[in-house]
Structure 1
Amino acid sequence: MPTALQNINHWIFDMDGTLTVACHDFPYMRQQLGMADGDTDILAYVSRQDAATAVKMVRWLQDYGLDLAQNAEAAQGAVALLTHLHQQEHKLAILTRNERSLAMVTLEAIGVLDYFDEDCILGRESCQPKPKPDGILHVLNKWQADKANAIMVGDYHFDLNAGRNAGVNTMLLHPEFNEWPHLSDYYFADCAAVLTQLQYSAA
């Protein structure tokens, strides 16, 4: 049984599509990298290439991601939710399959970088990427936190599987429907709905 939402005080967030408006054109990215139809895991694909090819692919991903990061827009209710959690002195972390440096640019662009300790912003070079649980386990160890008091929040099955694999609570954010109910302990349309629920529970 998941922990009651109001009792969770360690929050780990995905970035793109969770805290920011989704803007990555994944079909375009896969096309530019030469991925076959049906191959969806970009990082796994890059890792299978020879060293020289992988370096070129990573450089392209960096250039593509930097422009998006600099122009990132906060998702509905994201800044308000993070501000609320920060004011409640909850622990906050980022776990993204993007590069850590780009995550920091994104957080600064939407005005919430100061809410996160730098060593709690983890990118694909910081640990094994989601759905591996390594990043979640790393921040839990840093916080000396109980898994029952932590939650992984994201918009894709990579996020939810990472949470499941780490043994923490999971939350899916999606504006239309819950595609993975077997992986998500909580489901909300967006960050604004999460904040509304937290405020209602505290009333």
Structure 2
Amino acid sequence: MNLAQRPAWIFDMDGTLTVAIHDFEQIRRDLGVPSGQPILEYLDRLPADRAAPLRRRLGRVEETLAARAEPMPGAASLLTRLRREGCRLGVLTRNRKDCALTTLATCGLLRFFEQDEVVGREEAPAKPEPDGLLMLLDTWKLPSSAAVMIGNYLFDLQAGHAAGARTVYVDPSGDFPYRDHADDQVRDLRELQALVWPEKAE
């Protein structure tokens, strides 16, 4: 089944639907997370009394960034076309759901998604676990073979493959360091739209 035939499209948010503005190394320094360590997983390993204030601090950072979010070029056009084609659209993010909804609203993209189709880290285990993606597919009564997972980081691609979905890797730099985990690679969402509908891209 090629991309144009797949009716379920699940997007990562930060750096995929939105322009990447998170400085994760700075966030790690602020929280005392060792360089290169996944933030959520590190906090999960801490005792509850140490993790709780750090999670609150992380939440405040996410809220600040949500208010500054900008849409990725081509996002609205791609989502409009997918809706027109009758596709189901979801968001799977390692962010909190409330921050994800704020981010999407700030970018003018919330209109494309039902709120219960935006899945954050409190609704399902965080990527690279595939649970959130599978939860969306179960809601839609669609098989994994019908799904596309679009993201800009390794965890997005790993989650997609673990769920049995086709994966699209978005990397504006064109370096694609995680290319071995992706079925398709594009620099931005305009390029993805042209890949899906070569003669229909807007």
Q: Deviations over 1:107-134 (max 9, x none)?
A: 1111121211111100011100000010
**Corresponding residue for residue 13 of structure 1:** 11
Please report how far the alpha carbon of residue 196 of structure 1 lies from its aligned counterpart in structure 2 after TM superposition: 1.8
Please report how far the alpha carbon of residue 36 of structure 1 lies from its aligned counterpart in structure 2 after TM superposition: 2.2
**Corresponding residue for residue 169 of structure 2:** 172
1:90 aligns with 2:87: yes
What is the identity, as a one-letter code, of the residue corresponding to 2:32?
Answer: G
What is the identity, as a one-letter code, of the residue corresponding to 1:43?
Answer: L
| Of 55-64 and 11-20, the range deviating more from structure 2 | 55-64
**Corresponding residue for residue 128 of structure 2:** 131
Runs of 4+ residues over 3 Å off in structure 1: none
RMSD: 1.3
- Where structure 2 has 5 or more consecutive residues not aligned to the other structure, the ranges are none
Q: Distance in 2 between matches of 1:193 and 1:62?
A: 33
Give the TM-score taking structure 1 as reference length: 0.94
**Corresponding residue for residue 159 of structure 2:** 162
Is the 8 Å Cα contact of residues 194 and 200 (structure 2) preserved in structure 1? no
Q: Distance in 1 between matches of 2:35 and 2:123?
A: 29
What is the identity, as a one-letter code, of the residue corresponding to 2:92?
Answer: L
1:198 aligns with 2:167: no
Please report how far the alpha carbon of residue 202 of structure 1 lies from its aligned counterpart in structure 2 after TM superposition: 5.5
- Where structure 1 has 5 or more consecutive residues not aligned to the other structure, the ranges are none
What is the identity, as a one-letter code, of the residue corresponding to 1:195?
Answer: Q
Is the 8 Å Cα contact of residues 79 and 110 (structure 1) preserved in structure 2? no
| Of 154-163 and 3-12, the range deviating more from structure 2 | 3-12
Number of residue-to-residue matches in the alignment: 200
Pick closer, same or farther for the CA change 1:164–1:201 going to 2, 3 Å.
farther
**Corresponding residue for residue 62 of structure 1:** 59
**Corresponding residue for residue 140 of structure 1:** 137
Is the 8 Å Cα contact of residues 160 and 171 (structure 1) preserved in structure 2? yes
Q: Distance in 1 between matches of 2:35 and 2:94?
A: 21
Q: Distance in 2 between matches of 1:201 and 1:158?
A: 32
What is the identity, as a one-letter code, of the residue corresponding to 2:13?
Answer: M
Q: Secondary structure at 1:97's aligned position in 2?
A: coil
Of 20, 23, 38 in structure 2, the residue corresponding to residue 22 of structure 1 is 20
Of 97, 101, 105 in structure 2, the residue corresponding to residue 104 of structure 1 is 101
Is the 8 Å Cα contact of residues 25 and 35 (structure 2) preserved in structure 1? no
Q: Distance in 2 between matches of 1:122 and 1:5?
A: 22
Q: Distance in 2 between matches of 1:118 and 1:9?
A: 19
Please report how far the alpha carbon of residue 20 of structure 1 lies from its aligned counterpart in structure 2 after TM superposition: 0.4
Q: Distance in 1 between matches of 2:177 and 2:7?
A: 26
Q: Distance in 2 between matches of 1:32 and 1:202?
A: 46
**Corresponding residue for residue 48 of structure 1:** 45
Q: Secondary structure at 2:167's aligned position in 1?
A: strand
Q: Distance in 2 between matches of 1:94 and 1:140?
A: 12
Q: Deviations over 1:72-94 (max 9, x none)?
A: 00012111111111122210000
